[in-house]
Amino acid sequence: MKNYKTQMEAAKKGIITKEMEIVAKKEYMDIEKLRSLVACGQVAIPANINHTSISAEGIGTGLKTKINVNLGISGDCKNYDVEMQKVKMAISFGAEAIMDLSNYGKTNTFRKELIAMSPAMIGTVPMYDAIGYLEKDLLEISAKDFLKVIEVHAKEGVDFMTIHAGINRRSIEAFRRTGRKLNIVSRGGSLIFAWMEMTGNENPFFEYYDEVLEILREYDVTISLGDALRPGCLDDSSDAGQLSELIELGYLTQRAWDKDVQVMVEGPGHMAMNEIAANMVIQKRLCHNAPFYVLGPLVTDIAPGYDHITSAIGGAIAAANGADFLCYVTPAEHLRLPDLSDVKEGIIASKIAAHAADIAKGIPHARDLDNAMAEARHKLDWEEMFKIAIDGEKARNYFESTPPADKHSCSMCGKMCAVRTTNMILEGKKVEFCSEK
């Protein structure tokens, strides 16, 4: 019988779990080094004891940058079959995590199916599910009611939960004092803020934080400390509201670790490129090097329809400077629930950002595929290029849409392909264009 409840407790006791072994192998990391990073909280391995289909992943210091895919139904889009198609697409493209953000009706049937079949980590925001699950309006929900929803999600096998515990009376005071263009853009954060203002009570997740931790510890659920006061536009970034909440999140991180509960800390949001690196340093300092999970950051506010690009730019900079986990953003951000095409574009953009950052950080073997692609291009081996590409199907479709006369080039350069020309010269051949038939 196991003599530990969580990955962190095992690591503190010097125990190597099967999940640690899986992660160490994936990451080319010495198992003892990984154990020590889990023990001190710099790496989290979100793996609920009831999620039996999971293929464990690590998030944090020295590991590959992971990506998360958000999906789930809303009152305007209720087709769970489409959401399951999105799940399968996310898994096929190698997304390490999927968050079910469904916020309409009874969501547990889909969530149970998702947990049963998914090798990827599953995350939720219990606050989104509270009204539908409890069948109560916001003002009617008690503090202890919120904890019931957390327990239900934990029992079902959710690996990590976004819990907005840092938006307490202190951080709200800083938020009010500062003033913002976009106020609160976090859906869960806005609901907690509304509940606090209507009831006059403290944030229930903060007030009853120890009880929250006991539930999470029982099932080894990683707490993802939500950034309710994240900036929703460039003008609000790095303000007193954001930073005051971050201070609270650092305090809550240490309290979770004291109970052997694994932690991730969530971050911005919208932010100009010149602020991103500093924010990563501040977060790691205030939150004791806990894994950092960022939405974007989106580096400009004027590109609706293209926010998978604004997010990938910010995500690459953030991850290269210490962020560990990127939440994808789709072209539909700010506009509508994403469809299958949007989800694919968002995944690819996020994967590119994560991979580019891993190269910059010197993650072991991060360059292997890039080197393999260079070799394939050197040989003008198109099949190998398509095999290596993140989206080989798209690459093939582009290549074949305007087929070249010479199979050893593409339709852009034709026989004037630089690689072909150089290869021929180095092989001692003549390069002739006019006389070639």
Which residues line the annotated binding site for Zn(2+)?
Answer: 270, 334
Report residue 428 as tokens: 């001692």
Amino acid in the structure at residue 430: K
Q: How many CA atoms lie within 13 A of 282 on its CB side?
A: 17
Q: How far apart are CA 353 and CA 351, in angstroms?
A: 5
Per-residue buried b or exposed e for 303-331, using 16+ beta carbons within 10 Å of the residue's own CB: beeebbbbbbbbbbbbbbbbbbbbbbbbb
Q: How far apart are CA 209 and CA 194, in angstroms?
A: 19
Per this entry, what is the length of the chain? 437
Concatenating the DSSP letter of every residue in 249-291 gives HHHHHHHHHHTT--EEEEE-SB--HHHHHHHHHHHHHHTTT--
Which residue ranges make up the annotated binding site for substrate? 70, 99, 128, 164, 186-188, 227-230, 266, 293
Tokens 């019988």 belong to which residue? 1
Q: How far apart are CA 291 and CA 256, in angstroms?
A: 13
Give a three-class secondary structure readout of 335-371: CCCCCHHHHHHHHHHHHHHHHHHHHHHCCCCCCHHHH
Phi, psi of 59 (to 5 degrees): -130, 120
Q: How far apart are CA 205 and CA 169, in angstroms?
A: 12
Which residue ranges make up the annotated binding site for [4Fe-4S] cluster? 410, 413, 417
Which residue ranges make up the annotated binding site? 70, 99, 128, 164, 186-188, 227-230, 266, 270, 293, 334, 410, 413, 417
Q: DSSP character for 122?
A: E
126: nearest Cα among 201, 192, 41: 192
Three-state secondary structure call for residue 311: helix
- 50's torsion region: left (phi>0), alpha (psi -120 to 50) or beta? alpha
